[in-house]
Copies of this chain bind each other. A is one copy, B any other.
Amino acid sequence: MVKRVSLSGAECPVARALDVIGDWWSLLIIRDAFEGVRRFSEFQTGLGIAKGMLATRLRDLTERGVLETAPASDGSAYKEYVLTESGRGLFLAIVALRQWGEDHLYRAGERHSVLVDRTNGDPVARLELQASDGRVLAWNETQVRKAGEGAD
């Protein structure tokens, strides 16, 4: 066997993104990082993940530039894992998954957490895809232009 397929050379950005964060745990780790989780043990108990898995995921995400380590903010000799600029860029991907989950994965009456505006506590708006002129675009009003075709 050749080893799990790598998509890191793909010309499709979706494939490359999944190559970095497309496994079971990575996006959950990143979600927790957005909510302020920083320490190994916090990730571990919060996610219920095996310590070995967590250690390799944190290492991989750090190597890939999504997380970075920093000295612990409480002054102890331990380290913390925080999102890099690149990692923070995943915010909208997580919000999009959240909105899809809210819409399709809860039965009526079932509760879920809600993403709110910190200044006033209101739920955030739904994401929308817009054209360059601001029109809202549905999925079937778009198209993928392959690399190298037309203007680049």
Name A residues whose Cβ lies closer than 8 Å to a Cβ of B: 4-5, 7-8, 11-18, 20, 22-24, 27-28, 31, 34-35, 48-49, 65, 86, 88-106, 111-125, 127-132, 134, 137-148, 150, 152
Contacts and interface: CB of A to CB of B under 8 A. Distances in A.
A92 to B, nearest CB: 4
A86 B96 CA distance: 13
A33 to B, nearest CB: 10
Nearest to A9: B110
Contacts of A100: 13, 17, 89-90, 92-93
A143 B147 CA distance: 37
A65 to B, nearest CB: 8
8 contacts: A8-B105, A12-B98, A13-B97, A22-B27, A90-B100, A93-B96, A111-B148, A115-B143
Contacts of A113: 11-13, 144-147
A91 B5 CA distance: 24
A24 to B, nearest CB: 6
A34 B105 contact: no
A16 B113 CA distance: 12
Contact of A92 (B23, B99, B105, B114): B99
A125 B134 contact: yes
